Amino acid sequence: MNNPIHRKAHWLAVTATVAFGLALFDQSARAGALESYRKLWRDPALTARIEAYIEKHRKS
């Protein structure tokens, strides 16, 4: 591993692997967050609470 070309190749391989892993993690996190967000907005009780809060604090 003393060869500079091998060090660069190793660094590139590790960096690419980390970047790919982070991209996959980001994609799965976004997909999960969006689905959780959609489930919240489908909840009629939560929607009613939000609407009641808006009506209560609406400026006349």
Q: In this predicted structure, what is the pLDDT of residue 24?
A: 85
DSSP character string of 3-54: SHHHHHHHHHHHHHHHHHHHHHHHHHHHHHHHHHHHHHHH-HHHHHHHHHHH
Alpha-carbon span 7 to 34, nearest angstrom = 40
Count the domains in the chain.
1
For 14-31, write each residue's pLDDT tens digit.
999 999 988 888 877 777
pLDDT score of 1 more than 80? no
Q: In this predicted structure, what is the pLDDT of residue 57?
A: 85
What average pLDDT does this structure show over 10-16? 93
pLDDT score of 60 more than 60? no
Domain limits for position 46: 4-57
